[in-house]
Amino acid sequence: MVIGVLTLDLYVRHSQSLKQKRRVVKSLKDRLRARYNVSVSEVDFHDDKKRARIGVAAIGVDAGYVQGALEEVKLAVTLEPMAELGRSEIEFY
């Protein structure tokens, strides 16, 4: 069994409040869960109205499959119009 964790730093450009940022992040998390069947959580910068860090976890029997799934998630986030992707990192356990 392989567990892959993708950490993504996001910049929510047009957010003027925590409420606006949370709406963007929640929408993104819900879409990633539904489309890619992964676990998603906001893991840092909870009180910053412009920044968010989300963690995405995927489990599989093949490291190549998990890597590919997490790369697809990363690509989807880069196409997100409401948030700009900063640093990203994939780790395996």
| CATH match of 2-92 with 1.10.760.10 | no
The answer to whether the beta carbons of residues 12 and 21 sit under 8 Å apart is yes
Percent of the chain residues past pLDDT 90, beyond the cut: 98
Averaged pLDDT of the chain:
95
Average confidence (pLDDT) over 83-87: 95
Amino acid, single-letter form, for residue 62: D
Residue 65's pLDDT is 94
Q: What's the pLDDT score for residue 89?
A: 97
* pLDDT, average across residues 1-22: 95
